[in-house]
Amino acid sequence: MNIDDLTRQNGEWLRGEGPYADVVISSRIRLARNIAQFPFLSKADDSDRKQVYRLLSDCIAELKLGDDALVVDIDEAQDLDRQLLVERHLISRQHAEGEGTRGVAISGGERRALMINEEDHLRIQGMRSGLQLTSLYEEISRLDDAIETQIEYAFDAQLGYLTACPTNVGTGIRVSVMLHLPALKLTNHIEQMFRAAKEMRLAIRGLHGEGTDAVGDFFQVSNQVTLGRSEEQIVEEFGNDIIPQFVEYESAARNTLVKERTNLLDDKIWRAYGTLENARALSSDETLFLLSHLRMGVNMGRCDKVDLDTVNQMFIRAQPAHLQKLNGRRLGGEERSVLRAEYLRGALAARN
């Protein structure tokens, strides 16, 4: 597999399957790890970085990530390819924009992505569609165990896994769940959710994680506390308690809309559909806004013109780097809006 192949497929985590898939887009878990014998990256020189890169990429090559696994040297990669990986949620923006020897190993199906030399030496990430945290953690933890047989991690009996930033120390785990909450937004209840989340010491971020705004009703909820609680506790609390609560509120808001604001709801959904089907120029932000309403319509069974798979695909492929890859050239802002609208019209027409 190479990077260009990615543009032609959908990550498995975007299948729209799994528990609570109408509200929960995806589950993600990452573990932050460092090699004991090397300085963290802020104090690592070129030779340290290269050694860490070689050690970890050799070790990862031994793992069974699947025949179609892909290893990308981010330092050598082209800008557009880096951006493409960010748009697919396989690497962080920080990793794309960073400096020095660094990389990512991606498993077939894009279920796992291991970033080398991001903020920590290694960040092991796993992604699943819907709410599937327990089995995901088990899978990621096994991968962690396999790496640990070859690499000595920086670990302290009191503080646990040692990370470059003390806010990740302990388990080094971050559980993030991406939620689609259009009804809470439409009924003006989203601010309340944010306040509740803050009280539970959760972070809420936009579509692309750290440092991004919440656009188009998509929110990433993640834990901030990584010390003093076990991985299982954090994962269980998310899977059994926190996320089901968010889902329940969103579902209640959707029911209210159906019962009390049927016309308004259908108007939003079909207006989005009509615009996507007819517009001649669309910005990224407007596209997200429209696709959000369309997705809500599909999930609520109020629009059968398109299926969830197509909507998910549209989300990914309407992004700037994907559009440019699919068109095989760099595009200016206006041209991009025109070609985005063209792509979206085509995607909907193909379904009819």
Partner 1 sequence: MLCQRCNKSQATVHLLDIVPPDGEKRERHVCEQCAAEEGLTVQKHESIGAILDGFIKQSSKDQQSVDEVCPDCGLTFREFRSQGLLGCPRDYEVFSKPLAALIERAHDGATHHIGKVPARLGGEPSVHAKMVRLRRQMQEAVALEDYELAAKLRDRLSEIEQL
Smallest distance from partner 1 to CB 173, Å = 8
By CB under 8 A, residue 160 contacts partner 1: yes
Binders of partner 1 in range 84-113 (CB under 8 A): none
Tell me the site size for partner 1, rule CB under 8 A. 58
The reply on whether position 231 binds partner 1 by CB under 8 A is yes
Q: Is 289 in the site for partner 1 (CB under 8 A)?
A: yes
Query: What strands lie across the sheet with 202-205, from one edge to the other?
Result: 70-73, 103-106, 112-116, 122-129, 24-33, 173-180, 218-223, 202-205
**What would the two tokens of residue 257 be?**
């809309």
Tell whether residue 338 is a contact of partner 1 (CB under 8 A).
no
Q: Is 155 in the site for partner 1 (CB under 8 A)?
A: yes
Write the DSSP string, 210-264: TT----TTEEEEEE---SSS-HHHHHHIIIIIIHHHHHHHHHHHHHHHHHH-HHH
Please report whether residue 42 would count as binding partner 1 according to CB under 8 A: yes
Question: Binding to partner 1 by residue 228, rule CB under 8 A?
Answer: yes
Find the shortest distance in angstroms from Cβ 21 to partner 1: 25
Please state, in angstroms and rounded to a whole number, the distance separating the CA atoms of residues 332 and 74.
24
Q: How far is CA 301 from the centre of its chain?
A: 25
Instruction: Output 157 or 350, the one with its CB closest to partner 1.
Output: 157
Cβ-based neighbour number of residue 322 at 10 Å: 21
Task: Answer yes or no whether residue 149 interacts with partner 1 by CB under 8 A.
Answer: yes
Smallest distance from partner 1 to CB 345, Å: 16
191 sits near partner 1 (criterion: CB under 8 A): yes
Given the complex with partner 1, which of 140 and 347 has the nearer CB atom?
140
Q: 3-class SS at 96?
A: helix
Q: Which is nearer to partner 1, 226 or 319 (CB)?
A: 226
270 counts as binding partner 1 under rule CB under 8 A: no
Residues 15-34 that bind partner 1 (CB under 8 A): 34
227 near partner 1 (CB under 8 A): yes
Of these, 54, 195, 330, 351, which contacts partner 1 (CB under 8 A)?
A: 195
Q: Does 253 bind partner 1 (CB under 8 A)?
A: no
84 to 61, 180, 220, 243: CA distances (angstroms): 23, 22, 20, 29
Neighbour tally for 331: CB within 10 Å = 15
Which one among 153, 302, 305, 327 touches partner 1, defined by CB under 8 A?
A: 153
If binding is defined by CB under 8 A, does position 45 make contact with partner 1? no
- The whole-angstrom separation of Cα 204 and Cα 53 is 31
Nearer to partner 1, 245 or 278 (CB): 278
Distances, alpha carbon 68 to alpha carbons 2, 8, 21, 105, in Å:
9, 14, 27, 11
Q: Which segment (93-101, 110-118, 198-206, 308-316) binds partner 1 by CB under 8 A?
A: 198-206
Q: Structure tokens of 57?
A: 């990429």
- What are the residues binding partner 1 (CB under 8 A)? 34, 36, 38-43, 119, 141, 144-145, 148-149, 152-162, 164-167, 169-171, 173, 188, 191, 194-195, 198, 201, 203-204, 224-232, 268, 271, 275, 283, 285-286, 289-290
